[in-house]
Structure 1
């Protein structure tokens, strides 16, 4: 099975970004950083989601992100699907922290259940076809609105496709954006560039979640 083996965020200041991600989310092996001055403006066409078990975990991660320098895009609140909020890291990446639970069953644990990359596709069906042709397997698909790909148990990141405008709305930002995505994905299927301009490179499968 082909899936994401590595996820690299391109940032202007790697030292500052490393401090933020370790302080805010405790991320280490899941996300790599690479220096880049590639021009980028507005919505970069993707969001990263941290899914957790309870609202207390959502609040804990959002509070630590804000204390480390993130800005609020959507305050944490209850929704039809659970509880969550959205913040933007100092490097510009958008992070959603969410749970399907609406009530706490205990104190915050800061345990991450899953890290999910959602790519905002202009044509979800075309992007789905491209990825399946490159070896990825579909786990769930809802027409031209949303696709979730199957992942190996060792994969540090889950991958999904969402309509670009819908994804931007969910993140609380305008859909317009130009320039680099400032994101590089690695897998045994790379290298290639997808229909929305996201770059994949060759990488060995990850051994740590």
Structure 2
């Protein structure tokens, strides 16, 4: 197994905003308010063509299984489709839903047992980009000023973020990410997500677009 590499260098570039492109901004706003993440993302109207897997997921990390269930329940009640019901695994407990606008969300905790009732708090949001070549994409982002926090060979890479970043950025093999989410890896058209950062504007090797942070 490849050894993880780490660095303590402070990040010079990070995500300042995450914008989801949706067909109906009012409906999407209602959903994300009910889901509890409306303050963490932006919405933008778009009719850009997109089919199948859009190549990314937003993952909520929370403190306990009851909180996972709470977020999953809120999403389903607001109209989300359950792709993977919450289950225990070697790494913890979690499930996957797809929002009405098509965005896939994963909610998980490393805890396998509850230590109290559900609390509607998010410890961390991670944006996982599904890429064809993790090593190449990692080097691309390093060249854009991001700092690698940890890396597992050609399978996964995670970048450092600062206290002002709404999400943490990570890279995952596209097919591996799709399998983890329970969807086919095939997809074409727009990713329907735009990232804001101090290093923008640019488009990465897998077509994910960045804008200059406002």
1:18 alignment partner in structure 2: 29
* Equivalent position SS for 2:95: strand
Q: Deviations over 1:82-132 (max 9, x none)?
A: 000000000000000000000000000010000110000000011001000
Instruction: Report the 3-state secondary structure (helix = DSSP H, G, I; strand = E; otherwise coil) of the residue aligned with 1:92.
Output: coil
Query: Is 1:148 equivalent to 2:154 in the alignment?
Result: no
Question: What CA deviation, in whole Å up to 9, does each residue of 1:121-157 have, x standing for no partner?
Answer: 0000110010000000000000100000000122110
- How many residues get paired? 203
* Cα distance, 1:29 vs structure 2: 2.6
Aligned to 1:70: 80
1:47 paired residue number: 57
CA–CA distance in 1 between the matches of 2:205 and 2:86? 33
Query: How far apart, CA to CA, are the structure 1 residues paired with 2:38 and 2:83?
Result: 24
Match of 1:193 among 184, 200, 203: 203
* Mapping 1:113-132, distance limit 5 Å: 113-132=123-142
Structure 2 SS opposite 1:5? strand
- C-alpha distance in structure 1 between counterparts of 2:157 and 2:192, whole Å: 22
Match of 2:20 among 1, 6, 9: 9
| C-alpha separation in 2, matches of 1:163 and 1:170 | 11
Among 28, 33, 58, the alignment partner of 2:43 is 33
Which of residues 94, 113, 116 in structure 2 aligns to 1:84? 94
How far apart are the structure 2 equivalents of 1:63 and 1:191?
37
Q: For each residue in 1:47-98, what CA deviation from the matched residue of structure 2 results, as whole angstroms up to 9, or x when unmatched?
A: 0001100000000000010000000100000000000000000000000000
Normalised by the length of structure 1, the TM-score is 0.96
Task: Provide the aligned C-alpha RMSD in A.
Answer: 0.6
What corresponds to 1:207 in structure 2? none
Provide structure 1 residue ranges, at least 5 long, that are not aligned to the other structure. 205-209
Q: What is the TM-score with the length of structure 2 in the denominator?
A: 0.94
SS of 1:118's equivalent in the other structure is strand
Q: Where does residue 104 of structure 2 map in the other structure?
A: 94
- Specify the alignment match of 1:165 in structure 2: 175
